Structure 1
Amino acid sequence: MTGAGRVSSGRALTGTAWAVLVLGLWVWGRDAADGPAYGSAPTTGDIAAVGRPPGVPLPPDHAPLDPVEPRRVEIPSVGISAPVVARGLDADGAIDPPPFEMPHTVGWYGSGTRPGAPGAALLVGHVDTETRPAVFYGLSAARPGATVTVTRSDGSTAEFTIDEVEVVPRDGFDARKAYGPHRSGRAELRLITCGGSFDRAADAYTANVVVSAYLTGTKR
């Protein structure tokens, strides 16, 4: 796992792209208040937003919910279903992701927005381990209009709708755009992992996948 300027021997969600991601989070948060051995790294194609297909309507916003901690996230359309744990910043000021031994767990930036509350809540996960895909390996296949559900600690479920899937080059990562809310006062969600293709010469992924969603419903 890499952090801001650090690389360990774990080799899960590796390379410069992750370092840019976590360092960007650190900078944004302050201002606002080794690769896969199995040879099947995900490829997301062009470095661009997928966008919303013409003629596919998106539901209206739902009013924000009370701030409650997340426990589980699911994206049925791409087969993602995983527990969520709160993570903070490490001694170097980078987000402390789930440890290498927990590749199928999603990390929530616990000092930030809680899913369903106003603002953009941040969820991050490994794309792979040294030998197999990890929790967010299929994230790049998500598409606008798909549903993301977050089970919360009070037993409620916050339902989000994806409105943007973007692949951001590692040398052009804009923390404000990635982490900041797209619409003031709206409850939003960001799901982020490494993406693009794996550059073996640089020992890094070429990009980050950033999936944006907004609150469209709730149930108990």
Structure 2
Amino acid sequence: MSAPERPAGTGRLLTGVAWAVLLLGLWLFGRAATAGYSAPTTGDVAAVGRPLGVPLPPAHDPLDGAAPQRVEIPSIGIDATVVRRGLDGEGAIEPPPFATPGAVGWFAGGAEPGTEGAALFVGHVDTETKPAVFYGLSTARPGEKVRVNRSDGKVAEFTIDDVQVFTRERFDAQKAYGPRMDGRAELRLITCGGTYDRASRSYTANVVVSAYLTAERTARKSAGKSA
């Protein structure tokens, strides 16, 4: 009997207790769950970095803590539910559920989005049959906005300042996932990149989009609700 369909890029995030090991685990996010996967991925692009001439706004002061509920990146059409992820019984970060490849996973053991530090979000790039939530993440560009709707009714608005593709040969965990500036509220949006290697059943790189808090807004109420 054939194995049930499972998304590629859903591998275990080997973490343990130490932050350095956690970062290594995020690097291993691209390990696939099944053999024989052959769909394309959008991650095999050159790093954008911080192009000259892109104006970036000043950082906003960090906010009080609150859990994320949705992530929106209007420029690339992402509007996704956030699911809380932690560690499983073996010390591995739980990836977004297999059944909901359109959801974004937030590592609840780290920073909350809007608080000081780097909040970590992970999402699948694709499944065995179709694109997933972060399929277009590598096309994001500095200056574009990321909005996180939070449980306190606030929207934390971040500005993208860096887009990188980290290959195995050039991987630096602290540079990829650690805070870029002390005292700032930052985001890391992470997915698989490069090409799919059948031999190792893994992707050859990770796409890492970095952003920092630049505004705080009040979430709009849904139509029909009283003020």
The equivalent of 1:155 in structure 2 is 153
| Cα drift, residue 24 of structure 1 | 5.7
Give the root-mean-square deviation of aligned CA atoms: 2.4
Deviations 1:80-128 (A, max 9, x none): 1100011101122221011110100001010110000000000001111
The equivalent of 1:115 in structure 2 is 113
* CA–CA distance in structure 2, aligned partners of residues 200 and 38 of structure 1: 8
**Aligned pair partner of 2:8 in 4, 8, 12:** 12
Contact 1:128–1:134 (Cα < 8 Å) also in 2: yes
What code does the residue aligned with 1:58 have?
Answer: L
What code does the residue aligned with 1:119 have?
Answer: G
| Cα drift, residue 201 of structure 1 | 3.5
1:28 matches 2:19:
yes
* CA–CA distance in structure 2, aligned partners of residues 193 and 31 of structure 1: 15
Q: What SS does the aligned partner of 1:61 have?
A: coil
**Aligned pair partner of 2:56 in 43, 55, 58:** 58
User: How high is the TM-score relative to the length of structure 1?
Assistant: 0.84
**Aligned pair partner of 1:194 in 192, 195, 204:** 192
* CA–CA distance in structure 2, aligned partners of residues 215 and 168 of structure 1: 23
Of all paired residues, the percent bearing the same amino acid is 60
> Which protein shows a greater Rg?
2
> Number of paired residues?
205
Contact 1:89–1:95 (Cα < 8 Å) also in 2: yes
| Cα drift, residue 40 of structure 1 | 2.6
Contact 1:120–1:188 (Cα < 8 Å) also in 2: yes
Report 1:1-220 matches (<5 A): 10-14=6-10, 18-19=11-12, 22-23=13-14, 27-28=18-19, 34=34, 37=37, 39-46=39-46, 49-170=47-168, 172-220=170-218
* CA–CA distance in structure 1, aligned partners of residues 208 and 37 of structure 2: 24
* CA–CA distance in structure 1, aligned partners of residues 163 and 185 of structure 2: 17
Deviations 1:113-159 (A, max 9, x none): 00000000000011111110101111111111110000000111000
Contact 1:107–1:124 (Cα < 8 Å) also in 2: yes
* CA–CA distance in structure 1, aligned partners of residues 16 and 161 of structure 2: 21
* CA–CA distance in structure 2, aligned partners of residues 43 and 36 of structure 1: 19
* CA–CA distance in structure 2, aligned partners of residues 27 and 80 of structure 1: 32
Question: Comparing 180-189 with 163-172, which one deviates more in the overlay?
Answer: 163-172
Structure 1 residues 44 and 31 mapped into 2: Cα distance closer, same or farther (>3 Å)?
A: closer
Structure 1 residues 162 and 97 mapped into 2: Cα distance closer, same or farther (>3 Å)?
A: same
